[in-house]
């Protein structure tokens, strides 16, 4: 019947769009996306909701030395909405940044952000504990802390003067990450304020240049890409080789330095430069990699406007659930705090 044919065509169209979306993701961004989705689906199928075993719990990190929580906590999500919000915010910004820096440097920076945000989390929790707050006993999960770090980088490189907070109001771009942090906390008080603030501080530490000594040098990146154990990844069609140097220069992300374009040419995934339906305003259209830092590369002759990354369209990081204290039942808190 006509209705069945229409349904079949719609289903085919969705499958095609899904393949296009997945195929366009650079390897590092794809790895994060697949890992987070796979862990969530596996948890649902196995009935796992004991997030107290893997969450970011500052008291257990300090008291029991459970450092693994710094990494496991960012990969798990409390609900499908929590996962969806985080991935919708992360994928556009991360894809553009990875195409600029290359897969090796991009992945390394994500690891740095994860580690640094966790250190800030523990430090802020200690300060909160001395002030009488229960921050040492929270149990937070989700990738949104790292996403706040990426939002800071995206904002630093954006050309727009103002950004929208979910369409409710606009703020000056330099205040966008902090405004988004406060707005999410007011909208959903149960999310982890400390977790989001820690990611924001990690991003600020990076764009201020304080992480430059820890970044990979171009020679180190080239050595990794040429090593035998990396051969399989390098041969993958979604791998982005080389890239611009990642050193950040404070103050370089001024509005006239990197005009933002919609639908930047793809350098990963299918790599054919075709406009894709899901792409949103993000980093600048860039010339081939040149010497210098990614924040000071010469802009192309053609100017451009538009928002920067997911934040430019009002899509901020999804909230990070705050399960009030380790050992409590997280499932109920996830329903309230993992929007």
Catalytic residue among 59, 96, 135, 144: 144
Cα–Cα distances (Å) from 247 to 5, 80, 100, 166, in that order, read 54, 35, 12, 31
196 part of the active site? yes
Strand partners, 172: 162
Cβ partners under 8 Å of residue 323, min gap 6:
51, 52, 55, 138, 139, 140, 141, 330, 333, 334, 337
Give the dihedral sign, CA 336/69/71/214: positive
Cα–Cα distances (Å) from 32 to 22, 85, 334, in that order, read 12, 14, 21
Task: Give Cα 282 to chain centroid, integer Å.
Answer: 13
Do the beta carbons of residue 114 and residue 148 sit within 8 Å? Answer: no
Catalytic residue among 59, 196, 257, 333: 196
Q: At what angle do helices 144-157 and 80-101 cross, to 10 degrees?
A: 40
Q: How many CB atoms lie within 10 A of CB 46?
A: 8
Distance CA 236, CA 30 (A): 12
Distance CA 79, CA 338 (A): 6
DSSP string, 76-93: --SSHHHHHHHHHHHHHH
Burial class, 326, CB count within 10 angstroms (exposed 0-12 / middle 13-18 / buried 19+)? buried
Q: Locate 69 and state its tokens.
A: 């929580």
144 part of the active site? yes
Q: Which residues are tagged catalytic?
A: 144, 196
């Amino acid at each position: 019947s006509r209705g069945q044919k229409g349904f079949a065509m719609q289903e085919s169209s969705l499958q095609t769009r899904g393949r296009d979306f997945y195929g366009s993701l650079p390897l590092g961004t794809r790895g994060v996306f697949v890992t987070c989705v796979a862990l969530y689906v596996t948890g649902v199928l196995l009935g796992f909701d004991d997030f107290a075993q893997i969450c970011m719990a500052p008291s257990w990190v300090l008291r029991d030395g459970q450092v693994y929580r710094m990494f496991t906590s960012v990969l798990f999500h409390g609900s499908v909405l929590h996962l969806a919000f985080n991935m919708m915010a992360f994928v556009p910004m991360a894809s553009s940044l990875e195409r600029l820096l290359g897969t090796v440097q991009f992945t390394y920076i994500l690891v740095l952000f994860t580690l640094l945000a966790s250190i800030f989390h523990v430090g802020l929790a200690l300060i909160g504990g001395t002030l009488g707050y229960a921050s040492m006993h929270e149990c937070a999960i989700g990738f949104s802390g790292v996403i706040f770090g990426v939002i800071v980088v995206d904002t630093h490189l954006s050309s727009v003067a103002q950004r929208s907070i979910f369409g409710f109001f606009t703020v000056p771009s330099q205040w966008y990450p902090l405004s988004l942090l406060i707005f999410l906390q007011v909208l959903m008080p149960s999310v982890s304020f400390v977790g989001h603030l820690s990611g924001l501080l990690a991003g600020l530490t990076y764009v201020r240049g304080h992480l430059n000594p820890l970044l990979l040098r171009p020679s180190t990146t080239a050595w990794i890409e040429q090593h035998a154990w990396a051969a399989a990844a390098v041969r993958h069609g979604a791998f982005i080789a080389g890239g611009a140097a990642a050193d950040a220069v404070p103050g370089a992300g001024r509005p006239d330095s990197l005009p933002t374009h919609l639908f930047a040419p793809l350098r990963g995934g299918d790599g054919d430069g075709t406009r894709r339906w899901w792409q949103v305003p993000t980093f600048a259209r860039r010339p081939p990699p040149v010497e210098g830092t990614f924040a000071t590369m010469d802009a192309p002759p053609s100017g451009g406007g538009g928002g920067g990354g997911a934040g430019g369209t009002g899509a901020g990081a999804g909230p990070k659930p705050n399960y009030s204290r380790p050992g409590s039942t997280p499932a109920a808190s996830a329903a309230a705090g993992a929007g």
